[in-house]
Amino acid sequence: MDRDQLRRTIAGYTYRTMVWGNNHVPPGLRTLLGFVFMVGGVFGFLPVLGFWMFPLGVAFVALDIPPARRRINLWLIKLHKQAQFDHEHQHLDQPASKPTSKK
């Protein structure tokens, strides 16, 4: 795996995790999950935990802080472009589109 492909893969995982967290985790729990990630990032020298957890935890907490949401959304747009997804970026303020079942 070359360096560019690794960057695209990491950007894709990060983007999908942040969008999932925004769409599926309630705001109070999202902050708590962010703090858990940050604590896990402090212990990044352990095998399962990693230093990657700290910035992701900060981003999860920032999702619940209104002035930081705009900056996080700009970062997600950048990640979306780096990951080179085929679908469009969904802004954080827009609700996730749910499939409708027709009878």
Residuewise pLDDT in 10s, the chain (103 residues): 788 888 888 888 888 888 898 889 998 899 999 999 999 888 888 877 788 889 889 999 999 998 898 888 888 888 888 888 777 766 665 544 444 445 4
Q: Dump strand ranges (E) for the chain.
A: none
- Total of domains in the chain: 1
In a domain, residue 14? The reply is yes
HEC per residue, 26-76: CHHHHHHHHHHHHHHHHCCCCCCCCCCHHHHHHHHHHCCCHHHHHHHHHHH
Q: Exposed/middle/buried for 13, CB within 10 Å: 0-12, 13-18, 19+?
A: middle
Domain with 15, as residue range(s), is 3-83
Q: Could you tell me the pTM of the whole model?
A: 0.72
In a domain, residue 98? The reply is no
